[in-house]
Amino acid sequence: MPDLANLIGEDLNERLAPSAGLARGLPRAAYLSPEVLDLEQARWLSPSWLFVGLGHEIPNPGDLAPVPNLRIFLARGEDGRICAFHNVCRHRGHELLTGAKRGCRHIVCPYHGWRYGLDGGLKSISSFAGKAGEIPPDFELASHGLKTVRCETWHDWVFVNLDGTGPPLADHLKPLAQHLTDVDLASLQHFHSLEHGEVRANWKLVMENSLEPYHTPFVHAQTGAGIPLEDHHMILEDRLLGCGIDVGGGPADRASGDGISVDSRFFVVPPLFVFVFYDRRIVIVHRNLPDGERPDRTWRSIHLYSLGGEPLDAAEIEDWKRLEYEIHVEEDGPVYESLQRNKLSPVTEDGGLLSPAWEGAVQAFYRQWAAALGAF
């Protein structure tokens, strides 16, 4: 596999941590090259933990859900645990699942009828040997079960580690969890999922947008009017990036027609997990899943929860649903796609400039990306 310097045509040290002057963004190939995407998959995404699903969407044994872009699926087993499997029949490689299913006793391949248990074990192979129930010589069912994917759950959120080499999930999320020790995450109540779907942009552009508040007064002039740029502060820790704001807004200000006006935290656990915390009452997580083949495609969904106390009333729920749609689909969505389109322009080869006040987390994200891909 080519190294990163060969793929992008330069050493990134001076670009990302200049000895003089301002840091710059990544060159165009980082967003356009399938070979760079392959390197990302092999060296950062597959070895890390990726947020892929929601426990409440597969609440009962036999509930199954495919994961967009990853060719895996989640299954709630008979013991109540959630497992992940490659979405590949061991016979001829057909997809096992193309949509969610409920209450299944088995996982059945639609091509030739091979049946697997909820634990992934192969149970039957239809008439593979000629007659129903026959097993060919030297064939062992136990040796041909589904290929598993390492899977762990944190609260309602299901994560996978595709190559199995990552640390325990608790270690990966520890920098975030340390900021939430006085937050009762056990009281989470899901109240809405916004399925943004396929975005025509590289996954890093989506993540970069979550890492900086600099765009807020312009892209979110109305929806973000209550959280002024000058009142933000950056979060720049080793494995936790983002920004926060303390404006002292009360419950009545949470999601009014004038936008959000509350104490907020926008946390990113690289490479992909986004955790937003509003006024100790609302938690929003982003599921961002790169397309494994197309560097200009990312699958997105946004999931909203209330914390503790009484459930939100109907009017407040509608306010949050409207607000999140405006922010992420109507406002941020076109930004991602405009940035991606302009990566075709040679002008963007220099990566642009990073604000030393508001884009330090973007710079830190780039350096983590480059280090994971072997640049330094």
What pLDDT, in 10s, does the model give residues 10-49?
A: 889 889 988 878 999 999 999 999 999 999 999 999 999 9
Q: Do domains 61-151 and 166-372 have the same CATH topology?
A: no
Sheet holding 82-86, edge to edge: 50-54, 157-161, 148-154, 82-86, 72-76, 64-67
What per-residue confidence (pLDDT) applies to 218?
A: 95
Torsion of CA 319, 321, 325, 328, to 10 degrees: 100
Per the model's pLDDT, the better-predicted residue between 262 and 248 turns out to be 262
Please provide the CATH number assigned to the domain covering 61-151. 2.102.10.10
**Domain-wise residue ranges, the chain:** 61-151, 166-372
116 confidence band (pLDDT: 50, 70, 90) = very high
Which helix (DSSP H) or strand (DSSP E) does residue 170 occupy? helix 169-177
What per-residue confidence (pLDDT) applies to 321?
A: 95
Instruction: Convert the pLDDT of each residue in 92-111 to its tens digit.
Output: 999 999 999 999 999 999 99
Picking from 158, 155, 196, the residue whose alpha carbon sits closest to that of residue 302 is 196
Assign a CATH topology to domain 166-372: Naphthalene 1,2-dioxygenase Alpha Subunit; Chain A, domain 1 (3.90.380)
Instruction: Convert the pLDDT of each residue in 143-173 to its tens digit.
Output: 999 999 999 999 999 999 999 999 999 999 9
Percent of the chain with pLDDT over 90: 81
What per-residue confidence (pLDDT) applies to 135?
A: 87
Residue 258 pLDDT exceeds 70: no
Distances (CA, A) of 82 to 55, 125, 154, 252: 8, 25, 11, 38
Are residues 311 and 173 in contact, defined by beta-carbon separation less than 8 angstroms? no
What per-residue confidence (pLDDT) applies to 285?
A: 98
Alpha-carbon distance 107 to 100, whole Å?
12
Average pLDDT rounded to a whole number, residues 82-94: 97
Alpha-carbon distance 55 to 76, whole Å?
9
Residue 67 pLDDT exceeds 50: yes
Are residues 281 and 185 in contact, defined by beta-carbon separation less than 8 angstroms? no
**108 has which bridge partners?**
115
